[in-house]
Amino acid sequence: MALQTREQHIRREKATSNICTAQVLLSVMASMYAVYHGPEGLKKIAGRIHGLTQMLEKEIVALGLKQVNKNYFDTLKVAVADSKAIREKAEKAELNFRYLENNHIGISLDETTSLKDVENILSVLGATSSIKASKAEIKWPGSLIRTSSFLTHPVFNTHHSEHEMLRYIKRLENKDLSMVHSMISLGSCTMKLNATAEMIPVTWPELGQIHPFAPADQTLGYKEMITNLENWLKEITGFTGVSLQPNSGAQGEYAGLMVIRAYHENRNEPHRNISLIPASAHGTNPASAVMAGMDVVVVKSDAEGKIDVADLKAKAEQYKDKLACLMVTYPSTHGVFEESIVEICETIHTQGGLVYMDGANMNAQVGLTSPANIGADVCHLNLHKTFCIPHGGGGPGMGPICVNDKLKPFLPGHAVVKTGGEKAITAISSAPWGSASILVISYAYIAMMGSEGLTNATKMAIFNANYIKEQLSKHFKILYTGTNGRCAHEMIVDCRDFKKAGIEVEDIAKRLMDYGFHAPTVSFPVAGTLMIEPTESEPKKEMDRFIEALIEIRNEIREVEEGKADKEENVLKHAPHTAAVITADEWTLPYSRQKAAYPLAFVKEAKFWPTVSRVDNAYGDRNLMCSCLPIEEYSKAEETTA
C-alpha cells in the first residue's frame, strides 16, 4: 500500500494503483476484536459456531432432508421440497435464508446464534419438538485442521478483560493528536467537525445490523434514507442520476470513468481512450484513468497555477478522434478556482469528449455553483470530506458519483440487488449501496444544515482560508491566487526559499508538533510547500493560534538565516521534542528546554507531547519495515508447538 500510494505522486500517469481511502476505521474495529479475544477466544467462538452448525445438520438429516455440503464451517446447503413455501414460513418467523436454485436453501450461523435460534430454524423446516444442547465432540475434517500457531504477538494475549481493554485503547488514543486537541489543516483532506448528532445513528442496530442483500420489503427505512440522500445530492450537483456504490473517492473516479467508457462504446466509439488530466489534478486521477484502460495526456499549468487553456485546446485538437474525457479538479489542488472552467468544458465537448469533475474540493462549491453549472458530465463526491463522514486515519470512505442524462443509463448495476441504469456497467463494489450504514452521517448533516446552512458552510470555508492567507502572506509567500488575489478553500504556502538556510518544509512540519498542531499537507501538489485548509468548522481563535505558531516558526527560521542559530543544531532540525528528551538528565542542545517544549504561552495550557522524536522519512519511504516481532521469535514459537 505504501508503494502504491507513493506512485500516484511520483509516477502519476504511469501509476497502476489509485488506492485512496482505505477502510482503516473498520479494520481497526476488526483488529481490536482479535486483540480482545486472542487466539484462544477466537478458537472458542469458532468451535461454538461449528458445534451449533453440526447440531443443526444432525437435526436436519433427522427430518429426512439432505444437507449437500461435504465440508463446512458455518454454512449448510439444504435440499427442500418447496423453497417458496419454506420462504413464506421463514419470513413469518422473522428468519432470512438464502434461496438457491433447484429448491436449495443456504443457512449460515454465527457467534450470535443461540440454541433457540437453531430450534426456530428447525421449526420452519418441519421439526415439532425442541432439541437438547449437548457437549458433543466437535469434528473438524483432518485435512483442514490448523497446526501452526497464530496471533502470537503479546498484544493478542494480554488484554482479555474489559478493564484491560479499556486502558489499552486509551493508551493508544493518548498517542494520537486529533481534532479534540487542535485544528488539523490538511489541505485537500477537509478535516472538519463530525458532529455527534450525525455520528450516533451509526450505532443503531436498525442501520448497522442490516444485511446488504436483505429483502427489499424489510429495508423500507433504508430505502427512504437512500432515496432522499440521492435526491439531495442531485440537487447539490445539478445532475439527474446518482450511484452510492463506490466506497472511496478513488473508486468513484474509477466508476465515473467506466461510465464514460460505456457511453462511448454505446455510441460505437470504443477507440476513445485518451484522458486529458491537468498537472494540478489529484494524484489519484491519472492512476484511475490507467485502471480504466485509458491513456493519460497531461495538460500544463500556467505561471499562476491555473490550467494552461492554450495547451488544453492544442491537446484536445491533437487527440480529438480519440478523446474520451477531461478529468478536472475544481477548484484545483493549487487552491484556486479555474476562471476559464466553462470554456475548458466546452472545448472538450466540441471535440467529442466528456468532462469528469473530481469532487474532492466540492466543499468550495456547495450552494454557490455546481458541477452541472460549469459544464461537467459526471463527478464524484467525497462524503468523507464535504459531507462529514470522518476522514482521518483513512476512512471509512464513500465516493458516490453523480451524472447527467447522457450517462445515467450506464450507472453501476449489481448482480444480486437491482441498481443502476438500463445499460448498467458491472458492479464496482460488492454491496449495492457501498458502505450503506455510514450514509446516515451525510444524510443527517444535509438534513440538519439545509440549503442555507450548506451554502454558509461553503462561504465560511472560503472565508477562513482567505483570512489565514492574508495573515500569513505578511510572513510567507503564497504560491497561487486568483485574479483578485483570493484563494479558494485552501492555499499553498511556498517554503522552498528556506532551503538556502538549510531548512526543509519537513522541518516546519515536525516543529508544528511542538506547538500542538498536526502539519498541513506537505509537498503536494508542489514539492517544498504546505497546503493549508482550515474548513468552516474552525473558529477565529483557533485559526489565530495556528497562525501565531507558523509566524513564530518563521521567526525561528529567520534566526538560522541571520546566523543566530546553527544550521544543524537548531530547534527546527531537532523537532519534535518528546517528553523523554525534555526531561532527560543531560541537555546538550544550544537552545533552552523552554524554547523547545513551550515556544508560545498557549502551548503551556494543554501541551500535547509527541511520543516519537525525529525519524528519517526518506529512509522509511524507501525501506518498508515490519513492526512485528523478530522472525526468530516466530521460529521459536513454531519449535515450541511442534
pLDDT of residue 634: 45
Integer Cα distance of 119 and 490 in angstroms? 60
User: Mean pLDDT by 10-residue block, N- to C-terminus, for the chain (642 residues)?
Assistant: 52 63 75 96 95 94 95 96 96 95 97 95 91 72 89 95 96 92 92 93 91 92 96 98 93 96 98 94 85 93 92 97 97 92 98 96 96 98 92 76 98 94 95 92 97 98 98 96 94 97 97 97 91 97 98 98 97 97 96 98 94 80 65 50 48
pLDDT of residue 279: 87
Integer Cα distance of 385 and 189 in angstroms? 7
Q: 182 with 538: CB under 8 angstroms?
A: no
Bond before 215 cis per omega within 30 degrees: no
532: cell is: 493549508
What are the C-alpha distances in Å from 435 to residues 208, 226, 231, 394, 588? Answer: 10, 12, 18, 14, 53
pLDDT of residue 624: 67
pLDDT of residue 134: 66
Q: How many residues does the chain have?
A: 642
User: Integer distance in angstroms from the first to the last C-alpha of the chain?
Assistant: 34
What average pLDDT does the structure give for the chain?
A: 91
Q: Where are the beta strands (DSSP E) in 155-299?
A: 241-243, 274-278, 295-299
pLDDT of residue 638: 46
DSSP 127: -
pLDDT of residue 22: 60
Integer Cα distance of 277 and 270 in angstroms? 20
Interacting residues of 270 by C-beta distance below 8 A, sequence separation 6+:
261, 264
pLDDT of residue 464: 98
Integer Cα distance of 221 and 207 in angstroms? 9
Interacting residues of 519 by C-beta distance below 8 A, sequence separation 6+:
508, 509, 510, 512, 513, 530
Q: 488 with 465: CB under 8 angstroms?
A: yes
What are the C-alpha distances in Å from 368 to residues 365, 381, 420, 464, 576? Answer: 5, 16, 29, 16, 41
Q: What's at 130, amino acid-wise?
A: S
Q: 243 with 274: CB under 8 angstroms?
A: no
The tens digit of pLDDT for each residue in 573-584 reads 999 999 999 999
| Interstrand relation of 477-478 and 295-299 (parallel, antiparallel or unpaired) | unpaired
Interacting residues of 375 by C-beta distance below 8 A, sequence separation 6+:
341, 342, 345, 346, 349, 355
Integer Cα distance of 370 and 81 in angstroms? 56
Q: 362 with 458: CB under 8 angstroms?
A: no
User: What is the pTM (predicted TM-score) of this model?
Assistant: 0.90
Interacting residues of 487 by C-beta distance below 8 A, sequence separation 6+:
335, 336, 465, 466, 469, 478, 480, 481
Integer Cα distance of 609 and 259 in angstroms? 48
